[in-house]
Structure 1
Amino acid sequence: MRPRQFDLIAFDWDGTLFDSTQIITRCIQLAVVDVGGAKPSDEAASYVIGMALMQALAHAAPDVPQDKYPLLGERYRFHYMKHANDIALFEGVLPLLATLRERHHWLAVATGKSRRGLDEALHTSELKGVFDGSRTADETAGKPHPRMLHELMREFGVEPERTLMIGDTTHDLQMAVNAGCASVGVSYGAHDHGQFEPLNPRFIAHSVKELHDWLSAHA
């Protein structure tokens, strides 16, 4: 078997493994309007996906005063939970993860979701036990701060040059740069992949199949 290039592969969740971008964008817009803010554009609402929740909402709703942030978060969670069962893994994700596990990579999730939100998603999508580790924005620093990746690398004893971050936003790829890790971008999530090039990803995948093929050959 070809030697591994990366021992640890960390995935973003929303927009990379989980097909949730459009629903999250809509829920951000509804929450902002609920608390009296101006409705963010689709571009503005989708840009913040991947950030820690309150950081994301504050960025998307600059006209909402800070004293309304708790209510803003509550309204976002209200709208999101109405659609939680409408969201699913992208087609091809389970075979992709199975291939990587067969090659004995450590697999992790590095996400802007909360710990509760990620655990519920992992349970809903029957992925418990597939990942060896995870970090969420409410238990460490949010993206693009590198702490998530630093903590995961420390947990598994893996050096930056043996770690790969995969995500759909510039926040994911900038986190990899900040941590000294390689990255792969996916274009089917929240951000326009034209923004990825300055962050020097090893590859930009336009589908889960392209991601699977590249990882099989290069990871």
Structure 2
Amino acid sequence: MSSRRFDLIAFDWDGTLFDSTGLIVRCIQAACQDLGVAVPSDTQAAYVIGLNLQEALQHAAPGLPAARYPELGNRYRHHYFARQHEIVLFPGTLDMLQALKARNHLLAVATGKARRGLDQALAQSQLGPLFDGSRTADETAGKPDPRMLHELMREFGVDPSRTLMIGDTTHDLALAANAGTPSVGVSYGAHEPAAFEAYGPLFVAHSTRELHDWLLDNA
């Protein structure tokens, strides 16, 4: 216990634990097409992953009148919930989480998803029992505002230096920087890892296996 570096490890969800980036991109594009607005490129749509839905859609469809964003959000949810059964864990994710729990780390989720969406995902994946806590963008503040990490650290009485944030986007790493916690990036999600350097992650993993090994050696 005394040699453990981090007591609390917070994970982003989409693109970090779940291989959902491609589906989210396609659903954003389909929603824009439904409303007859310019369809964002794959890169543009992937950039907004990790933000809360309202902010993400504003970035993805900047030409849409503000009054129509709820309509765009409804179309996105329509497409996403119709296909969310296609989403799977990245290979090795379950083993990694179980290994961390066996070492008595506190595990949490810090996500741009809404609470309804995260609860559904936790239930369908049967990962709920592995996590000690979670925060979603609709119940606190969206990334990169540090509030969700601040709330998790207060809940468990853990200092920033003993907390690690792991994510696949610059929004995740900016969240960690704003909360004063170390971070680790993963390159297999939504954002290109070259953009991570500005946020000083301790490590950038290129597979779940690399992340697993690094955490067992360094966390």
Q: Deviations over 1:12-37 (max 9, x none)?
A: 00000011000000100111121121
Matching residue of 1:31: 31
> Residue 119 of structure 1 aligns to which amino acid in structure 2?
D
Aligned-partner Cα distance in 2 for 1:95–1:38: 41
Task: After TM superposition, list the pairs within 5 Å mapping 1:28-177 onto structure 2.
Answer: 28-177=28-177
Aligned-partner Cα distance in 1 for 2:187–2:75: 29
Which is worse superposed, 28-37 or 144-153?
Answer: 28-37
Structure 1-normalised TM-score?
0.99
> Residue 10 of structure 2 aligns to which amino acid in structure 1?
A
Matching residue of 2:8: 8
Report the CA distance between 1:118 and its aligned residue: 0.3
Q: Is the 8 A contact 1:185 1:204 kept in 2?
A: yes
3-state DSSP of counterpart to 2:164 = strand
Identity between Structure 1 and Structure 2 (%)? 66
Report the CA distance between 1:216 and its aligned residue: 0.3
Check if 1:185 corresponds to 2:185. Answer: yes
Check if 1:197 corresponds to 2:197. Answer: yes
Q: Which runs of 5+ in 1 are unaligned?
A: none
> Residue 218 of structure 1 aligns to which amino acid in structure 2?
N
Q: Deviations over 1:106-152 (max 9, x none)?
A: 00000000000000000111112110000001000000000000000
Q: Which runs of 5+ in 2 are unaligned?
A: none
Report the CA distance between 1:184 and its aligned residue: 0.2
3-state DSSP of counterpart to 2:130 = coil
Aligned-partner Cα distance in 2 for 1:98–1:50: 24
Q: Deviations over 1:142-191 (max 9, x none)?
A: 00000000000000000000000000000000000000000000000000
Aligned-partner Cα distance in 2 for 1:89–1:123: 13
Q: Is the 8 A contact 1:170 1:195 kept in 2?
A: yes
Report the CA distance between 1:2 and its aligned residue: 6.8
3-state DSSP of counterpart to 1:214 = helix
Aligned-partner Cα distance in 2 for 1:121–1:88: 10
Which is worse superposed, 174-183 or 34-43?
Answer: 34-43
Report the CA distance between 1:205 and its aligned residue: 0.1
> Residue 159 of structure 1 aligns to which amino acid in structure 2?
D
Matching residue of 1:210: 210
Q: Deviations over 1:56-86 (max 9, x none)?
A: 0111100111111111000000000111100
Aligned-partner Cα distance in 2 for 1:35–1:64: 9
